[in-house]
Amino acid sequence: MIKFTLNGRTVETDAPATARLLDLLRDEFELIGTKEGCGEGECGACSVFVNNLLQNSCLIPIGSIAGADIQTIEGIIETEQFKILDESYSIAGGVQCGYCIPGMIMASAALLSENPHPSEAEIREGISGNLCRCTGYNMIVEAINLAAKKGDGL
């Protein structure tokens, strides 16, 4: 039995310690916002926060998260920061097929929490672990830049 905090709630699971956190979130807890794009930590579509750090959930065996604080996109939807990112992505046109977007939002949130006013180069660096095949990234970079201005420290 592994016990951890998921989006602010204490939960437990009987899944084997070698199971991937990604599968646990999607199958057992039905949190579909965490997507699988590659299964090898390359694309970032499965990004979550583990103890407030951005991680690829496809690379995490659940044995390693006992007692940890896990947050998925569903866990941040109510935050002020998400609302600003949501609006900024809409204005900048950062969303096309949408499959990379929850992971991209998580990466954006992680970046802005650590560095509220990033330069363009810092934004590119901050999302470099998240692949997007539709946008060519520029409108996502613009969205984060916009969110940084609007959020001003959020």
Partner 1 sequence: MNLKDISTSVPKKDHKGKVSGQLPYISDVKVENMVYGVLYRSPIAYGKIISIQLPNLPDGYEAVGAEHIPGPNYVKIIKEDQPIFANEWVNYIGEPILMLTGKDLDILYSLLNEVKVEFEEHQAIYTLDEAIKQKSVSLVLASYEFGESLENISAIEQGAHQIIEEEYDTGYQEHVYLEPQGMLAVYKDDEIVVQGSMQCLYYIKNALLSALACGDDEVRVVQSPTGGGFGGKEDYPSMMACHVAVAARAVKKSVMLVFDRSEDMLVTTKRHPAKLKYRTALDKEGNILSMYVDIFLDGGANVGLSSVVLQRALLNSAGVYKIPHFHAKGYVLKTNTVPNGAFRGFGAPQSFAGIESHIGHLSKLAKIDPLAYKRKYLVKQGDPTITKGKFRDPILVEEMIEDVLNVSEYKKKKEDFQRLNQQNQRYKKGIGTSLFLHGCGFTGSGERDHIKAKVKLVKSKDDQVSLKISNSDMGQGILTTLCKIVAKELNLPFEDILYPYPDTKEVPDSGPTVASRTTMIVGKLLERAAKKLKNQWQTGVEQEVVEHYVHREMIPWDEKTFTGDAYPAYSWGVNIVEVEVDTLTGNLKLEKVYGNYEVGKVIDERIMKGQIDGGLAQGLAYGYLEKMTSKQGRIQQKSISDYGPPTSLDIVSIESKVFDNPYADGPYGAKGAGELTLIGGAPAVQAAIEDALHTSFQQIPITPEVIIESLWMKEGEEG
Q: Which residues bind partner 1 (CB under 8 A)?
A: 26, 32-40, 42-43, 45, 73-74, 77, 85-86, 89-90, 93, 95-102, 105, 120, 123-125, 127-141
The H-assigned helical ranges of the chain are 21-23, 73-76, 80-92, 101-114, 120-126, 138-151
Least distance in Å: CB of 55 to partner 1? Answer: 16
Report the residue number, 67 or 80, with the smaller CB distance to partner 1. Answer: 80
- The answer to whether the beta carbons of residues 130 and 100 sit under 8 Å apart is yes
Report the residue number, 99 or 115, with the smaller CB distance to partner 1. Answer: 99
Report the residue number, 68 or 140, with the smaller CB distance to partner 1. Answer: 140
Report the residue number, 67 or 121, with the smaller CB distance to partner 1. Answer: 121
Least distance in Å: CB of 129 to partner 1? Answer: 8
Least distance in Å: CB of 31 to partner 1? Answer: 8
Residues in the chain: 154
State the Cα–Cα distance between residues 49 and 123, nearest whole angstrom.
Answer: 18
Least distance in Å: CB of 128 to partner 1? Answer: 5
**21, 23, 27, 28: CA torsion to nearest 10:** -30
State the Cα–Cα distance between residues 82 and 76, nearest whole angstrom.
Answer: 6
